A = this chain, B = another copy of it.
Amino acid sequence: MPDIEFETVSQRIRALFESLTRAERQLANRMLENYPVSSMGSITTVAEEAGVSAPTVARMARKLGFSGFPDLQAALRRELEAAISDPITKHDHWASDADTTHILYRFTESVLDNLRNSLKQIDIEAFDRTVSLLSDRRHALHIVGGRITRSLADYFFTHMQVIRPDVTLVASNSNSWPHYLLNMQEGDVLVVFDIRRYEHNIVRLAEVAQSRGVSVVLITDQWGSPASKHSTVTFNLRIEVPSAWDSSVVPMTLVESLIAAVQADCWEETKARMKTLEDLFDHTKLFRKFL
């Protein structure tokens, strides 16, 4: 039986997380996922599902302050019973307590909404077409973002650079754009990020690029950047959140999905490139491996 009665097991796991070892953290993560049902089976089952050994589970139970695994389970059952019989069960579950008004909760709800609404509107055709454009190593890829979207462009660039050769990040300072345009060939691809407070220069860049035979992929918001007049494919994403700024979460999700899809398309080459990259890192000792 635990010393401190009013804590839930999940709270305790989170409190002790830092002091847990690798295998224990792996278990902790599994336990918190689908909590608490994922810990309701036998110690063997729980261990297997978390990918650790039974003794690890037993040790964990002790660390959490229980006399053993069965004791922990009993606590979980009591919690579950309380939670289920509680009329306020409707409570969207992941909001542990009465905090539905907390900014973190409202913000996340809003992001979840945006994700669902944006993604269901995306034309799979358009997505696949974009993936082919990005996978085509015969043509160079250029990426550009604006004041805020610069980071997204940078993120996209960092990954694409590993996946394939001939990837350029266009500096966000528009003075040097003519130089970049000079290097864009017919058939090249330009990925443009432009969300509201649309930037005039970016629109012009897209226009010029397209006029020179470059395929323009535009990632913009639900209202649409004027650059869409000059784009081959356009993605309109939801970006509104309870904040003074817009959210880049949905655009980032799209970017990562594209990365995942392109990477799958070019897997053989990407694998080789990643291997080389690893070697380079090892060699230059830029960072050490952990875990």
Contact = CB atoms under 8 A, between A and B. Distances in A.
A288 B234 CA distance: 22
A289 B197 CA distance: 6
Contacts of A228: 18
Given A14-B123, A111-B115, A261-B103, A290 B198 contact: yes
B223 A26 contact: yes
A175 B247 CA distance: 33
B244 A256 contact: no
Contacts of A248: 155, 252, 256
A44 B80 CA distance: 20
A242 interface: yes
Interface residues of A, number: 101
Given A33-B117, A199-B287, A200-B288, 4 more contacts: A34-B84, A37-B84, A88-B92, A94-B119
Interface of A: 10, 14, 17-18, 22, 25-26, 29, 32-34, 37-38, 40-42, 70, 74, 77, 80-81, 84-85, 87-88, 92-97, 99, 102-105, 107-108, 111-112, 115-117, 119-124, 127, 146-148, 150-152, 154-155, 158-159, 196-201, 222-226, 228-229, 234, 236, 238, 241-245, 247-249, 252-253, 256-257, 259-261, 263-264, 270, 274, 286-291
